[in-house]
Amino acid sequence: MFLLEVNNLSLSFTQYQRGLKQKNIQVISDLSLSIQEGEILAVVGSSGSGKSLLAHAILGILPKNASLSGRLYYGGQELTAKRQKELRGKEIAFIPQSVNFLDPLMQIGQQVRTSSQVGSEKGIAKGKGGEKEKDRDRDREKGRVKDRAKDKGREKQRKIFDRYELDYDVENYYPFQISGGMARRVLVASAVVGGPKLIIADEPTPGLHHEVVKEALGHLRELADEGTAIMLITHDIATALEVADRIAVFYAGTIVEIAWASEFTDHGDKLRHPYTKALWMALPQNGFLPILGRQPSPSEPPPGCLFQPRCSLSSKSSSTNNSSCSQEAPVMRELRSGKVRCHFAT
């Protein structure tokens, strides 16, 4: 059974233009994918193409002007807004793109402990319904419980610090006092300290030195090998291939192929979709072959297949095939233990 299933997800935003005129902007259309425990599924697509919004839809943190359709399932049950709220930051953790997600006014140790939900002073202090204690002995006992919870929280945080090679001194630092690489480790530490089952990592290695990237990805692989499901959102297919089990290729607001990472070899003959092959062949080690044309906006898709204006397979096909490509939008289908959205992929 899959831990997370996203079925036919579409997302659009309503924007006001001049006066009271409204415009509907489509950003995701009919997107489906699933993730199992212990695997890394990389969602790969160009920067600014709306991949992060997929993460936000799963986490339930979209802005109010968003309209969502389709279904999300987590652990076999529908992932409703109520469940998203309950699971967010606990079973479902988020590693954001920017280190600006760290609170600039809170010490690092406190931030990680807050994420762990263990030893939360708020939770302990409230007790059962926050009833007022008048009895001194009970107050003292309450203080002791609070201290024990604090110690437990600190112990858990230090264990995570050990794991990610963060000195205990860092506990007392503020975000501006640590390096970019260290801040990334703190973000990972904050995400994993509560023992999540699913981690959504949104471009977790932007602009970092290769060694730091390797280290950050190594942490994700380690977590997956321990059973955590990971959705890695990235624009960098080469990086994704270093750690992912499967690659979901995002194009113009939807997924056009889901392939095994092991299928990205040689000239991409095992890959199914012409865009995936083109992405693979555009890597420097494969000849740097450019992909001509531009990705369409999901709000203004071309008729038929989204990739048709750039597709080499369509232009090589017979005129009948070619007209199917420009008239009918292909649906996602199973092919050779993967999935593809193309009429003619074999």
Residues 192-211 that bind ligand SF4 (CB under 6 A): none
Are 338 and 260 a contacting pair, CB within 8 Å? Answer: yes
Least spacing, CB of residue 313 vs ligand SF4, in Å: 4
Tell me if residue 201 falls in helix, strand or coil: strand
- Residue appearing with tokens 């968003």: 66
Q: Is 343 in the site for ligand SF4 (CB under 6 A)?
A: yes
The secondary structure of residue 295, as a DSSP letter, is P
Cβ neighbours of residue 127 under 8 Å, at least 6 residues apart? 133, 142
Are 194 and 116 a contacting pair, CB within 8 Å? Answer: yes
Q: Is 60 in the site for ligand SF4 (CB under 6 A)?
A: no
Say how far apart CA 224 and CA 236 lie, in whole Å.
19
Q: Which of 94, 307, 332, 339 binds ligand SF4 (CB under 6 A)?
A: 307
Say how far apart CA 121 and CA 279 lie, in whole Å.
49
**Segment interacting with ligand SF4, rule: CB under 6 A, options 149-157, 232-240, 258-266, 308-316:** 308-316
Say how far apart CA 273 and CA 276 lie, in whole Å.
5
193 or 325, CB closer to ligand SF4? Answer: 325
250 or 344, CB closer to ligand SF4? Answer: 344
164 or 264, CB closer to ligand SF4? Answer: 264
Please tell me the count of residues contacting ligand SF4 according to CB under 6 A.
Answer: 13
Site string for ligand SF4, 315-334 (x = CB under 6 A): ----------x----x----
Beta bridge partners of 248: 43, 258
Least spacing, CB of residue 84 vs ligand SF4, in Å: 34
- Residue appearing with tokens 């709220």: 85
State residue 52 phi and psi, 5-degree precision: -60, -30
Q: Which of 305, 332, 338, 339 binds ligand SF4 (CB under 6 A)?
A: 305
What are the angstrom distances between the C-alpha of 106 and each of 45, 168, 177, 182?
34, 16, 12, 16
Q: Is 308 in the site for ligand SF4 (CB under 6 A)?
A: yes
Q: Which of 153, 313, 332, 338 binds ligand SF4 (CB under 6 A)?
A: 313
Least spacing, CB of residue 190 vs ligand SF4, in Å: 40
Least spacing, CB of residue 311 vs ligand SF4, in Å: 3
Structural tokens at position 159: 């264990």
**Segment interacting with ligand SF4, rule: CB under 6 A, options 45-53, 64-72, 136-144, 310-318:** 310-318
Q: Is 234 in the site for ligand SF4 (CB under 6 A)?
A: no
185 or 273, CB closer to ligand SF4? Answer: 273
Q: Is 314 in the site for ligand SF4 (CB under 6 A)?
A: yes
The secondary structure of residue 306, as a DSSP letter, is T
Tell me if residue 22 falls in helix, strand or coil: strand
Give contact residues for ligand SF4 (rule: CB under 6 A). 273-274, 305, 307-308, 311, 313-314, 325, 330, 342-344
